[in-house]
Structure 1
Amino acid sequence: MEDKTVLITGASSGIGRATAETFEAEGWTVYATARDTDDIEGLAEAGCVTQELDVTEPEHVEAAVERVIEDVGRLDCLVNNAGYAQFGPLEDVPTDRVHDQFDVNVYGPHRLIREALPHMREQGEGTIVNVSSVAGRVATPGMGVYNGSKFALEGLTDALRGEVDDYGVDAVLIEPGPVDTNFDERADEELENGTERSGAYDSIYAFYEEGQTFGGTSALSVPPTDVAETILEAACSPDPDPRYPVGQLAKYSSFLRFVPDRLRDGAYRLVKKLA
């Protein structure tokens, strides 16, 4: 894989950092990006090429892809990993916060896809890996904004897969469940500062404030290296799967889509009562 090149967003910590380290260890040329390059100095020391990239800034996106092409002439894999979670009941989340969520989790990957695809089409191959979540398959109360962004990313990727198939380009979704990262630290911050509490949803806030979110360490969570290795597997496969759930909870939760809505809603009511 010494002649293969990957561009990774959100490489400052967690899944993104583990993915950069995993690809670099396999001999890929790794372009690791983050909003603050100070956060990825360690990756530079490990042999990755680092660059500032805020996925909400079109000029950053254009510059990052152009640098890869200017340096090595090709881009074999794009990993859209940058993202965060805006939790909170829909009524309590201001519309500008919804926009911010979609700007990072949906519009950001879309910007990068538009920049990367012309080069992948020209070279006749490439893999676009979009890091989604089990939350992109099953919605839960208090996560509607985050669910919406990940549902949207899943829809975009499913459509993209058929659009680029004729050009030798693959589009893949990675769907982790809970991961041992600091993901829930920002989620907690967004829950605290990004909502206007109406007083009508105290049970939902209590549920998430007790740490029962999609990040952090728990018996059901997986290390970020598991997700990184799955991303590498998808990038190396000549015929990758459309979706890769990571972790037992992600694999089991995907079956909830087939449960009748009324039964699923009843289960949520029961969980809230028990909480």
Structure 2
Amino acid sequence: MLARLKELRNLEGKLVLITGASSGLGKLVAYEMAERGASVVLCARNVEELRKVAERCKEISQADAFVVKLDVSDSEAIDHQLEHVLQDIGSIDVLINSAGFGLFEPFKDIEMQPVEKMFRVNVLGLMYVTQKIAQQMIKMGRGQIFNIASVAGKIATPKSTAYSATKFAVIGFSNALRLELRPLGVQVTTVNPGPMDTNFFKRADPSGHYFDAVKLLALSPEKVAHQIVEAVGYRRREINAPTYMEIIHRGYELFPNFGDLLASSSFFNRK
């Protein structure tokens, strides 16, 4: 099975499906995949932005770039649109589940409707997309799935209760799925980035205070996108960025009481 996975290291002629491809990390992963010669299937709600990304991908790769309007909070739309992709475009070699959003508010004040929406997008939508594509990958005996989680799914901090819950769920789902799919030739890799300089924060924290507080520590999304593409074709369990966050997480697990103090300190609690 590992030999089949290695076939993905050469991305020329391979088909990559990316959710959340109209902006942020998803868009940058699309460009990186195009640099490696892959054809891309770009999925998001904003078709106008998707078309711009698709044109840029074509310029880079001289390969196909397909635009698919997709709302991952709508399970019927997922089933319909991905059936169209698999029948009319082709079998997916690599899946990047990048669609998602956050909301940073104290739990005592947060409205539950956007929390439900967050779970539909960040967790359930990811699971629906993954199941549909994984079924096809199993038939091929080869494929790789990247689930974009977050360091917030490993280290919870104040004002991220709902968002952290969705990302803890994504990590737990991915860990179990990895064990199920590996014997079938499909690798599952979880990506856990810290704060990145993307438009994610415009929705998560409209005030801008949090990003202003962490911008000196913010990751380059281009670097994270490069790390993802470099992991294609390898049995990489996780990508944790920056690396020191994984070290802190290990310490958090070993010394949870101290971890709680650290997570609520001014170093982490900047929202």
What range describes the TM-score normalised by the shorter chain of this pair? 0.7 to 0.9
Counterparts in 2 of 1:142 and 1:125: CA distance versus 1, 3 Å: same
Which residue, out of 37, 42, 61, partners 1:27? 37
Deviation at 1:235, TM superposition (A): 2.1
1:120 aligned partner: 137
Moved beyond 6 Å, runs of 4+: none
What's the CA shift string for 1:158-215, capped at 9, x where partnerless?
A: 01011112210111100111111111111124xxxxxxxxxxxxxxxxxxx56225x9
Partners of 1:101 and 1:55 in 2: how far apart? 11
Partners of 1:57 and 1:216 in 2: how far apart? 35
Unaligned runs of 5+ in 1: 190-208
| Mapped pair 1:211 → 2:209 | yes
Q: Which moved more, 1:34-43 or 1:149-158?
A: 34-43
Deviation at 1:216, TM superposition (A): 9.0
* Partner SS, residue 142 of structure 1: coil
Deviation at 1:137, TM superposition (A): 0.5
Counterparts in 2 of 1:16 and 1:71: CA distance versus 1, 3 Å: same
Contact 2:122/2:166 (8 A) holds in 1? yes
2:114 aligned partner: 97
Contact 1:184/1:216 (8 A) holds in 2? no
Letter in 2 for 1:5: L
2:222 aligned partner: 225
Partners of 1:38 and 1:25 in 2: how far apart? 22
Deviation at 1:231, TM superposition (A): 1.5
The percentage of aligned residue pairs carrying the same residue is 33
Contact 1:180/1:217 (8 A) holds in 2? no
RMSD: 2.2
Partners of 2:263 and 2:249 in 1: how far apart? 16
Contact 1:89/1:143 (8 A) holds in 2? yes
Counterparts in 2 of 1:144 and 1:39: CA distance versus 1, 3 Å: same
2:262 aligned partner: 267
Counterparts in 2 of 1:121 and 1:212: CA distance versus 1, 3 Å: same
1:4 aligned partner: 14
Which residue, out of 211, 222, 241, partners 2:236? 241
Contact 2:156/2:263 (8 A) holds in 1? no
**What are the within-5 Å matches in structure 2 for residues 33-112 of structure 1?**
33-46=43-56, 47=58, 48-112=65-129
Partners of 1:217 and 1:30 in 2: how far apart? 33
**What are the within-5 Å matches in structure 2 for residues 120-199 of structure 1?**
120-189=137-206
Partners of 1:270 and 1:141 in 2: how far apart? 10
* Partner SS, residue 110 of structure 1: helix
What's the CA shift string for 1:66-94, capped at 9, x where partnerless?
A: 23322443111111000011211222123
1:255 aligned partner: 250
Deviation at 1:10, TM superposition (A): 0.5
Deviation at 1:247, TM superposition (A): 2.2
Unaligned runs of 5+ in 2: 1-10, 59-64
Contact 1:176/1:245 (8 A) holds in 2? yes
Q: Which moved more, 1:148-157 or 1:158-167?
A: 158-167
Counterparts in 2 of 1:63 and 1:225: CA distance versus 1, 3 Å: farther
Contact 1:84/1:101 (8 A) holds in 2? yes
2:7 aligned partner: none
1:194 aligned partner: none
Contact 2:192/2:241 (8 A) holds in 1? yes
Deviation at 1:101, TM superposition (A): 1.1
What's the CA shift string for 1:108-146, capped at 9, x where partnerless?
A: 100101111110010001111100110010111111110
Contact 1:18/1:224 (8 A) holds in 2? yes
Counterparts in 2 of 1:73 and 1:97: CA distance versus 1, 3 Å: closer
Counterparts in 2 of 1:216 and 1:222: CA distance versus 1, 3 Å: farther
Deviation at 1:258, TM superposition (A): 2.5
